Structure 1
Amino acid sequence: MARPVEYDRDTVLTQAIRVFARHGYEAASTRDLTEGMGMARQSLYGAFGDKHGLFLEALRSYSARSLAQIQVALNAGNPCLDALEAALLVGLGNAEDLESGCLGLSSIMEFSRSDPDVSAQNDLAGRATIAAFAARIGQGIEEGEVTAGTDPNAAGRLMLTLRSGLKIAARAGATDPELRATARLALSAICARAG
């Protein structure tokens, strides 16, 4: 009996994320996935069940990695403005690398609210991202770096919305200085030292 091919799950999920980011869910063929992941069809289905199962695991992995990047930026010990700016700008992707797009945003655009599993994962990721921003904004309020009276949760939702827009702008070709200037302008609404 032949031994099953061994693979590193994180590595193949990273490769699946890139395939789905390039093609979207519906347009990503089994061939695209097997070639992109370096797995045989049988191994892919044996490991993930089906394309939908693979997509959900890739989306969970992408969301966890994105949140981890944001949390590192927010908790690096920098002043609040710098921490928020870094968190807004980390991992945006770009127009030159079609596989650097945001899997979360593309899944929202492709599925809207039609797939309960995808919606649940995106809702969970959104809540976690808002909470991370809100916690840092709350700390900024205590330290006098964020305008007193700012609602941390509303500001966290603003940061999530802004980050989503920045990802789209980056994918459309906005330059790093343009993205940074946009983030700074938005942060000037809540931070005492911005602009």
Structure 2
Amino acid sequence: MARTRAFNREQALQQAIRVFCDKGFSAASTDELMQAMQLGRQSMYNTFGDKRTLYMHAMRQYIADSVSDLILKLGKGASPLAGLESALLAFVSRVQSEGTAGCMGVNAVCEFGVEDAEINQLRESAAQTLMAAFERALHEAREAGEIDREIDIPAAARYLMSSLGGLKISAKAGAPVQVLQETARFALRSLR
């Protein structure tokens, strides 16, 4: 008779995500992952495969959660510009609430560059989705008179994507939450 799993797969995956956010792929040891996930070696391998396969499961989940969270925040502001601010500050809020300043996406770019086709495809897909969402929000902000009417929407969306990436790198480097908040708000003020 086969043994049933005595752990929650999604909770274990979320713990692996935290480790990969903090350490990246190479620096995260299998022992650290097992400890964080509260799994034995065989349970981890039986459920997720090797470290690389676990990383890819974690990356897919991280991207799905992060992108949907940002898009949700874009639509929940009192105004389009408030939604953009909420989206930029979402990462800062996560740093405060979870105590982790890492980002799997930033870590992946720093570790793998564009050499890993599978990771690159995930990153590109997420970037396209976020770019489209930022462009929609910027169009709405322009129509509401919240930003400069002459603004180049695609360029502004790329600017916000770069600003978000910069916030994530600054957080990883230890920037205080207040500095991250000020930087995010400055990026938005420059659109007016």
TM superposition score normalised by structure 1 = 0.87
Deviation at 1:94, TM superposition (A): 4.2
**Runs of at least 5 residues in structure 2 that lack an aligned partner in the other structure:** none
Match of 1:5 in 2: 5
Deviation at 1:85, TM superposition (A): 1.4
1:106-146 deviation digits (Å, cap 9, x = unpaired): 11101111211111111111111111111111111222222
Amino acid in structure 1 at the alignment position of 2:187 = A
Match of 1:108 in 2: 109
Amino acid in structure 2 at the alignment position of 1:144 = G
1:142 counterpart = 2:139: no
Match of 1:33 in 2: 33
1:14-49 deviation digits (Å, cap 9, x = unpaired): 100111123221122221111111122222222222
Contact kept, 8 Å, 1:76 with 1:83, in 2: the verdict is yes
How many equivalent residue pairs?
191
Match of 1:90 in 2: 90
Equivalent-residue separation in structure 2 for 1:82 and 1:98 (angstroms): 24
Contact kept, 8 Å, 2:18 with 2:100, in 1: the verdict is yes
Match of 1:57 in 2: 57
Contact kept, 8 Å, 2:22 with 2:103, in 1: the verdict is no
Amino acid in structure 2 at the alignment position of 1:105 = V
Deviation at 1:152, TM superposition (A): 2.4
Residue identity over aligned pairs, in percent, reads 37
Amino acid in structure 1 at the alignment position of 2:150 = G
1:71 counterpart = 2:71: yes
Equivalent-residue separation in structure 1 for 2:46 and 2:139 (angstroms): 45
**Runs of at least 5 residues in structure 1 that lack an aligned partner in the other structure:** none
Deviation at 1:70, TM superposition (A): 1.2
Match of 2:16 in 1: 16
Q: Which shows bigger deviation, 30-39 or 103-112?
A: 30-39
Contact kept, 8 Å, 2:138 with 2:153, in 1: the verdict is yes
CA-based RMSD: 2.2
**Structure 1 SS opposite 2:141:** helix
Deviation at 1:76, TM superposition (A): 0.9
1:62-117 deviation digits (Å, cap 9, x = unpaired): 1121112212221114223222111111123549x774411110111011112111
